[in-house]
Every structure is written in structure tokens, then in C-alpha cells.
Amino acid sequence: MLKDITLGQYYPADSVVHKLDSRTKILITLLYMVMIFVVDGFIGFGVLLLFNIFLLFLSKIPAKFIFKGLKPILFFVVFTVILNMFMTDGKVAFRFIFWDVTYEGIFTAVFMALRIIFLVIGTSFLTYTTSPITLTDGIERLLSPFQRIGVPAHELAMMMSIALRFIPTLIEETDKIMKAQKARGADFETGSLIKRGKNLVPILVPLFISAFRRAEDLATAMEARCYNGGENRTRLKELKYTRLDAYAWGFMLLLFALILIIRIIGFDIRGF
Amino acid sequence: MLLKVENLTHIYMPDTTFSKTAIENVSFSIEKGEFIGLIGHSGSGKSTLIQHLNGLLTPTEGKIFYNGEDIWSDKEKIRRIRFEIGLVFQYPEAQLFEETVYKDIAFGPKNMGLSEEEIKQRVYDACDIVGIREEMLEKSPFELSGGQKRRVAIAGVLAMKPSIIILDEPTAGLDPKGRNSILNRIKQLHESWGITVILVSHSMEDIANNASRIIVMDHGKIVMDGGTEQVFSRVDELEKIGLSVPQVTKVFFELKKAGYPVNTNILTTGEGRDEILRVLGKRGDMKC
Amino acid sequence: MEEIIQAMDLSYQYMNEDEESVLVLDHLNITVPKGQFLSVLGHNGSGKSTFAKHLNAILLPCGGKVYVAGLDTSCEEKTLEVRRNVGMVFQNPDNQIVASVVEEDVAFACENLGVPQAEMRKRVDEALKSVGMYEYRDRAPHMLSGGQKQRVAIAGIIAMRPECIVLDEPTAMLDPMGRQEVLKTIKKLNKDYGLTIVLITHYMEEAALSDRIIVLEKGQVLIDDKPRDVFKNVAVLKQTGLDVPQTTELLFELRRAGIHVPFDKLTVAECVGELEKLLGGTEKCC
């Protein structure tokens, strides 16, 4: 069950998207997020869809992976759709028991759902195509100009990469502890919400203790391997901008311009 | 028949590209009071198998019967099966969570819904058998040494008074002293409580010293199942699948191969010494 | 012979919860010459792990001195230099891997030391090859077996180009196959590259592979000898809570039953050889 989580995982492959500098990918992802909120109609979303299909093709990631990443947020999407559908005023489309559903409601709901889905799909491309280390490396580099004003860029990046490294280990551990407590008759499936919350104690306490223990061990191991903070460190894989990054930027800026034009000219379809 | 496994197959993540058959068409049965050694190298399917025996994993195919009853016949009752078939995981000290040793051992019996009186009795009985002294009961389990934690964790399963106990590598990571002490306790437990034991171990010496029957797994299948002497007599087959026999057994097989009139059903160093003395004695009688 | 490790009059104590001081290492004197494969045995609490942690300045002596490659470990400016010379591998393979890709983990120490990129690439590849994990360089560590993880950890140390590797119970959490892999790797590094090895363990079979065994008991050296001669002390070893290989024990039992056999035999083959000598007459006469 816990092993189904694919969000935030790296999928190694040999593709142009994988080869892009992680800084480029992070900034492009930010730009993409902006685009999602600039788009306000079906043509715009159509352009984004084409872009995502193009990325899927370029990055060589199996489509199955992308859809699997959507599963955990399904509840969230449905929740947003329902909320928007019933809470928006406007021209009544039909009556659902005693709630009025408006045309405006339907469109806002669909747009919100599409935004969330595109947000997750687009950002998952970043994590699928960038190894955690290069990702954090990129964040560290992007943040380093702010180091002068006290942003601990290296420390933040190190913390993130260690967290990413230990996620699978901790998931495995949770699974094991859960089973061990179940073997002693613990029940996680029935009872009231409060009781279920209480039932988590036998999992959380051992998990915390083991996490602290691991942290301590890891700190010793890092020290033993001459870790001494961020100063004077070199990298096995130095980040380097290539021509590829320039192409990517060129392409993204064009795409952004296109989406802006669609928005500004305002010929996009936002309803009937 | 206490426990019966019939054509058990388990596939992890079926219908995906990651699907992996962990055990395939496994069948065996266990009588009350047996002491079984379960061996096989990592990835042979041992842990998947034992997690089926108390219903932590559901079979992809096949059935498990406890006292003649299919353990999955009523999903609601699966918890009851877990009280009857105790499972001690590898590094079980990872499951400790309560403020005191007493409370932690009482966790299982409490889940069974027993009375305070009964719970207390069971905690004391379990402590007695694993060798936890009374003054330790009010300590925090996290203050204890590694070996002591291990015992508390085992006591936590024993306090449910299961009729079968499965131990997955109960001595992993302990020093020889701790190892021997845990094994002796398990042996005592088997003798005095008459409990059925399934011991999973990588140490052939430990298996030889304790088990009367051995089940060997390889690539998700049972490849051997028989008396300890009989299984350990198949040295070549065991070595082919990356397992071994106790060193002392190996010595006697080599001697036999070299043409000496020794028996090869030797499992412990004591038996080995007696066997050598017997052969030497015979020579003495013949007065060459 | 040049000495790589010198522990002189080394003492270490700490305060437990009840404010009592516990003496873990008691005026220890141990020197290890360059290129030696030393095993340190002892039951839990004998001080063997504490000793190991002194060798690369994770712990500092309360009394006495530890010199590593001529450097005083208690001298703070030299700490990095000490750790570069003496790499350390720990018990739990999961808790010492920092990165999510094998080769990046192997590079970690080099990155910390500021090794230039081209040089680092070379060292990482060489290190991975020397432990037989080169094919796995792109994998995620959590997908590897325990033995493979330990080999990755060892590669991470080798990439620093140290003089000596200290391994603190590296096989305690591994299955027999993983143990074999790790031991083979250690033995190879010692033989082919002349690396000094300090192996902390409680497995006798592992110690038998080394050039020299030290048995610690209550923070003091109880036995310090060649494996063959250490195993002669079966009774002493058993008393300190250590095991001897079954082969040694069998011969020891025969000796106790009044039969004259030497019992400094370690392997099955040696033991069989000895018993053949003993039983030699049986065949002849029949």
C-alpha cells in the first residue's frame, strides 16, 4: 500500500529532459506553474496538454507512472470539484436535490480540477527526470546568491537530499512496525476517529525512536567521511549549462508568450 | 494436524510490471509440539511464507488451515488467529513503544481483551521464560541493553500464549553470549510449555542444535522437508543452492568420503567426539 | 615496520544515567603496523567499538594518546587529516549511506575533501571496481542487498585513498552471503592494495582470516596473537563469552577426552586432515 506512492521519485532514463541542468528544470517548472494560473480557458489548457504530451514523449517516462502519481490526489480533486460546483453563483444549469448547480460553477470546477492535475503532472516531470542529488544541488545553487542575507543554502539542500534518501527506508520501516504490532493484535482499521488516532501510538513511537537513532548514526558516519559543512566542497557532477538549456528556455518563453497572447486577446473558450 | 498450508502462492504487486512471485505452490503441515527449522537464503521466500501463517499477508492463491479451520474463512476473526500463532520479527526490539517494560509486554494480552489479573499472570509467565527479572518491569524498555530489549520483545509475543511461535532470526546482531542465551530460552520454552516452534535462521549450527525437522526453501518453493539428520545428509544439494551444513557434519562427511568407517549423522560437537571415540574404540578392540 | 596506529595508555570513560563513571577502555596499548589485517574480538561491552571510534577521532581519549599515521587524534586542526587516513565502516548499512545514487554516495567523502572533479570521477570508478559494485553505480542504494550496501560504504572510504580502514561489526546485520561478499572484499583490499584493516567483530570465522587477533575484555587486552594461537585458548575464549569454530571445538573436546590431537586447526579441511591422521590405523588394520 505504502509502496504505491510514486510522487517524488526519480525515474532514471537517457533523455534530453534528464540531461537538462536541474536549475533550468526548477525555474522552468516555476514558470510552468505561473502558466497554469494564467490559462483561463479550454484552448489554453489544450496547449498545456500538448506540452505535457510532448514532455512525456521527450522524457521517455512510461505514461503509467504519471497516472499512478495522480492517484493519491484524486480525493483532493474530487473535493475541489464538488466545492466549486455547488458554491458558485450564476445561471442555473440544473438542480441537484436542493442545490443549484450553475454553468459558472461547472466551468470553475472543471478549470480547478484541470489546474490541479496539470500542476501535479508537470511538477512530477521535474522529480521523475532529476535525481534527488542534482535537484537539491540545483536548489542550492539557485539559493546561493541569498546566502549573503543569511539563507543557509547548503544546509537546506543537504537536509532535503537526506530526507529524500531516507523516505524509502522509513516507508519500509513503517510497514514492518505496523506488521509487528498487528502480530500482537493491534487494530488499525476499526473504531472511532479518536480511537484510531490513539492506535497509531504503537507505530509512531517506534518510528520516531528509530528515526532519531538513524539520524545519530548518519551524523557520525558523515563526520567519519570528513563532512565539514558546505565550504570548499566539490561535486562529482558539477552543474553546467549547455546549449540544450538555451533551447529549453527559448521553447518555454515562446510557450509562455503563446499562453499570454491567448489570455490577453481573450478569444479562449470559458463557457458556452 | 495443527497447521496446514495448501498450495500457497503469493505474488507481490500482481498485474503490474513489478509483479514478483515470492512463493509458489507451497504445501506442508505441522503437528503440535514440533520444533521446525526453516532455512533458505535471503529472497527464498521465507519471510513471505511466515507472514502468511498468522494472516499478515493474504494468499494470492491457496489456503491455510489452523486446527482444521481456514484462517480466512471469516475476515473479522483474523485477529484471533494472530493470538494463536505468534510471530516474532527480525530485530523485534523495533516494536517497543510503551513507557514501561510491563506495559509493553501487556500490549498483546490487552488487545485480546483479558482481565487485569490474567494479563498480569501472563506478563509474569512470559518474563519468567525469557529471563526478565521483576525489577526490570517498571523500567523504560529504551534503557535496556540490546539483548534485554530483544527478550522483552519476544516476551511481548509469548504473553499472548500462542500455540505456535515463529521466530525470524531471533539472534541476529547479538554477540555469542546473547545468542546462546536466547536459543537456550527458546529450547526451554519448547520443552516446558510444549509450544510449537518455527525457527528461521541462517546458522546451520543453531538449527542442528535445536530443530527436529527442517524445511528448506529456494526460489519460493519448498525443496526439502524432513528430519534434521536426513536434510543435513543432503550436503551436495544444500551447497548447490547456496546453503551449508554444520561444520562438524561437514567434517564427518569428508571423513566418510575419504573412506573411514564413520557415521555421518553427526549434528553437534558432542556427537562428533563420541563418534570418533567409538571408531577409535573399535580399533582398540581389534588389537591389530 | 612503519606503524599506522598507535594507541598509548588509552583510557576512556563516560557518565551513565546514575552519574557513575564507567571505564570502557582501561590503559590500552595497541600498535598496528602498516598493511596488517587485525581483528578485534570481544563480547558486547568489552570496549571494542569504543576503541574503533578512537581511531578516526569520533571519540577522543580521556587519558593517553592515539596516533594515526603520526597524527595526534586529539589535535583538532588535524581531525580531517586523521579521518582521511583512517576510514570507517559501520554496522548498519542503511544508516551510513548519504546519497540516493550509489556513485554519488561513493563520492561523498571526496566532495567533502574538495577533490577536483576529474580526479574524483577517476577515484569513484576505481573504488567501485575494487569492491565489485561498478555495474551498480547508477542504482538507488535502498534497492541493494545488505552485503552490497556495505561494499558501497567501503568504496566510499576507498575513494578517500586512506591508509587504513576500520570496520565496526560490518557483517553483524548481514546474511551469510552478504558476510562472504564483505569479507572477500576486505581480504582483497588488504592483499592487493596493502591497506591496513582493523576488523571489529564477534564472529570467530571472520577473525580467523586475519593476520592477528586481539581479544578485548573489560577494556583491556586479554589475548594478542596469531589466529592459530588464539584458538588454542578455547577455555578462555568460552569464558569471555566468545565462540570458537566447531572444528576447533571438536578437537578440543577430543583432547579433553584424553586423545592427543592438536586443536589449532581452523578450517574443515585442516580438521579432517588431523582426524585422518588419528583414524589412520583404522583402515590399515581392516
> What whole-number percentage of chain B has pLDDT above 70?
97
Q: What is the pLDDT of residues B78-122, one digit of tens each?
A: 889 999 999 999 999 999 999 999 999 999 999 999 999 999 999
Round the average pLDDT of chain C to a whole number and report it: 90
Q: What is the pLDDT of residues B24-33, one digit of tens each?
A: 999 999 999 9
Cβ atoms of C83 and C57 within 8 Å: the answer is: yes
Q: Mean per-residue pLDDT for B179-185?
A: 91
Which pLDDT score is estimated for A272? 56
CA–CA gap between residue C74 and residue C80 (Å, rounded):
11
B82 and B195 within one domain: yes
CA–CA gap between residue C159 and residue B53 (Å, rounded):
46
CB contact under 8 A, C98 and A132: no
CB contact under 8 A, C138 and A12: yes
Lowest mean pLDDT among A79-93, A119-133, B214-228, C196-210: A79-93
Distance of CA C212 to the CA centre of its chain: 11
pLDDT confidence of A234, banded at 50, 70, 90?
confident
Given a cut of 50, is residue A1 above it in pLDDT?
no
Q: For C100, which of A165, A220, A222 is closest by C-beta distance?
A: A165
C96 and C219 within one domain: yes
Q: Mean per-residue pLDDT for B12-20?
A: 79
CB contact under 8 A, C107 and A236: yes
The domain that holds C163 is classified in CATH as 3.40.50.300
Q: Which residue has the higher pLDDT, B186 or C260?
A: B186
List the alpha helices (DSSP H) in A147-242: 153-183, 193-199, 201-224
Q: What is the pLDDT of residues C85-139, one digit of tens each?
A: 999 999 999 999 998 889 999 999 999 999 999 999 999 999 999 999 999 998 8
Q: Which residue has the higher pLDDT, B18 or C54?
A: C54
Q: Is B56 on the interface with C (CB under 8 A)?
A: no
> Residue B139: which H helix or E strand, with range?
none
Residue B115 lies in a domain: yes
C260 and C191 within one domain: no
Q: For C247, which of B147, B172, B251 is closest by C-beta distance?
A: B251
Reduced to 3 DSSP states, what percent helix, strand and coil does chain B have, rounded to the nearest 5?
Answer: 45, 20, 35
Q: What is the pLDDT of residues A209-231, one digit of tens each?
A: 999 999 999 999 999 999 988 77
B147 and B284 within one domain: no
B56 and B168 within one domain: yes
C99 and C153 within one domain: yes
B262 and B176 within one domain: no
Which pLDDT score is estimated for B287? 40
B205 and B135 within one domain: yes
Q: What is the pLDDT of residues B53-73, one digit of tens each?
A: 999 999 999 999 999 999 999
> What whole-number percentage of chain B has pLDDT above 90?
80
Residue C196 lies in a domain: yes
Mind telling me how many Å the CA of C209 is from chain A's nearest CA? Answer: 26
**Number of domains within chain B:** 2
3-state secondary structure chain C: CCEEEEEEEEEEEEECCCCCEEEEEEEEEEEEECCCEEEEECCCCCCHHHHHHHCCCCCCCCEEEEEECCEECCCHHHHHHHHHHEEEECCCHHHHCCCCCHHHHHHHHHHHHCCCHHHHHHHHHHHHHHCCCHHHCCCCHHHCCHHHHHHHHHHHHHCCCCCEEEEECCCCCCCHHHHHHHHHHHHHHHHHHCCEEEEECCCHHHHCCCCEEEEEECCEEEEEECHHHHCCCHHHHHHCCCCCCHHHHHHHHHHHCCCCCCCCCCCHHHHHHHHHHHHHHHHHHC
**Number of domains within chain C:** 2
Cβ–Cβ pairs < 8 A, chains A and C: 99
Residue B144 lies in a domain: yes
Lowest mean pLDDT among B150-164, B274-288, C49-63, C270-284: B274-288
Cβ atoms of B148 and B116 within 8 Å: the answer is: no
Give this complex's ipTM: 0.90
C269 and C213 within one domain: no
Helix (H, G, I), strand (E, B) or coil at A228: coil
3-state secondary structure A89-108: CCCEEEEECCEEEEHHHHHH
For residue B251, give its domain range: 246-288
Q: What is the pLDDT of residues C157-171, one digit of tens each?
A: 999 999 999 999 999
Of C178, C193, C227, which closes a domain?
A: C227
C183 and C281 within one domain: no
> Nearest 5 degrees, angle CA C188-CA C191-CA C194?
115
Mind telling me how many Å the CA of C183 is from chain B's nearest CA? Answer: 17
For residue C250, give its domain range: 245-286
C47 and C150 within one domain: yes
Residue B262 lies in a domain: yes
> In the numeric block, which cell numbers belong to residue B202?
541462517
Q: What are the C-alpha distances in Å from B258 to residues A10, A182, C264, C275?
A: 57, 53, 22, 11
Residue C268 lies in a domain: yes
C179 and C110 within one domain: yes
C99 and C203 within one domain: yes
B131 and B63 within one domain: yes
Residue C20 lies in a domain: no
